[in-house]
Amino acid sequence: MDVKSDVFNKKVRLPDFLIVGAAKAGTTSLYFYLRQHPKVFMPKIKETWFFSVCEETKKILRGNPKLVNTLDEYVSLLKKAGYNSIIGEASPIYLYLYDFTIKKIKEIYGSMFRKLKIIIILRNPIERAWSQYMMHVRDGLEDLAPIEAFRPEVIRERLKSKNYTIGHDYIGFGMYYKQVKSFLSNFKTLILFYDEFLEDPKLVLNKIFTFLEIECINVKTNEKFNISGVPKNKIAQFVFYQSPLRNMLKVCIPSSWRQRLKFYLSLRLLEKKRMPSEVKEYLSDLYEEDLKKLKNLFIEYKITNSYVNKWIQNLRA
């Protein structure tokens, strides 16, 4: 949409919608699927983190070398959008850092902020935390046992350390109640569910197209992105572990190619590891209260809460 930004002091084109999260809930797949629609433009950088970057948050956003710091940089990413295109962007960090994000959106959009549409896709927070943990195992970024890594006191200490990133807050990313409530209170928001996305991706995409007021079309949904798992061997470790060589290849290979290559390699080089029962029990204790608040929030806003009900029912299953 065209916005006369007081910060920029001139009219600029900014996103019509944002996919704000949750992390490890299919946002990368949604990003690539939506890019297939001829009416949708999304920048080549999937996660700009722009609306969460300010002087207060830079210290906890370390670990992303491609942070888009200025409005000039951000606007330049959107310049290739066609005049009749709907512009979108996907950064799961926006849901986690909801307070900074909403404040910055309002600051930049001004009175136009209410026209911005928000898409949130939620995953069972227990499964989401496990997936995020396993992703770090996959990438060679986690050496603690899961329960130890999930302990709130361990997470607090890690977030203070320069040796860890915000991604190690496995628990905080799934505390949905305040995050979702803040977006519902400020924007026209579409709530989706990862379970539903897995069952019928085309149905979920049609919900998004309807929400964005564009034609419902068929897009390819056979590829999955950012798959978690344990490396099977040293070859897999070389492919997925963080290293200077891997970072150098990132610069040389376009993002879309890297994601597709990672998908095919993930199928062959990674193996799924089931969550131990004691880990599920530990996470159930951490998330029970927040899930009950989320259920009541959805009742208040008349949003289907069947999936949340299932998550609550399965806490002790």
Contacts of 142 (CB under 8 A, 6+ apart): 133, 136, 149, 168
271 versus 124: the higher-pLDDT residue is 124
112 versus 222: the higher-pLDDT residue is 112
Query: What is the tens place of the pLDDT at every residue in 199-221?
Result: 999 999 999 999 999 999 999 98
The answer to whether 180 touches 122, Cβ cutoff 8 Å, is yes
Average pLDDT estimate for 9-27: 91
pLDDT at residue 210 in the model: 98
- Share the mean pLDDT of the chain: 86
CATH superfamily of 2-229+272-313: P-loop containing nucleotide triphosphate hydrolases (3.40.50.300)
Is the pLDDT at 46 greater than 80? The verdict is: yes
Distance, CA of 16 to CA of 244 (rounded, Å)? 36
Closest C-alpha among 2, 1, 20 to residue 180 = 20
91 versus 249: the higher-pLDDT residue is 91
Contacts of 304 (CB under 8 A, 6+ apart): 298
Q: How many helices (H) and strands (E) does the chain have?
A: 15, 9
Average pLDDT estimate for 139-159: 94
Query: What is the tens place of the pLDDT at every residue in 89-112?
Result: 999 999 999 999 999 999 999 889
Residue that is written with structure tokens 């009219």 in the block? 11
Helix pair angle (306-313, 277-300), 10° resolution: 150
Helices (H), the chain: 27-34, 71-77, 93-96, 98-109, 125-138, 146-150, 152-160, 176-186, 194-199, 201-212, 234-240, 244-252, 255-269, 277-300, 306-313
3-class DSSP assignment, residue 231:
strand
Closest C-alpha among 297, 234, 274, 313 to residue 130 = 274
Closest C-alpha among 277, 317, 293 to residue 175 = 293
Among 149-163, 239-253, 262-276, where is mean pLDDT lowest? 239-253
Stated pTM of the model: 0.85
Question: Residue 285 corresponds to which tokens in the numbers above?
Answer: 């204790």
Query: What is the tens place of the pLDDT at every residue in 188-199?
Result: 999 999 999 999
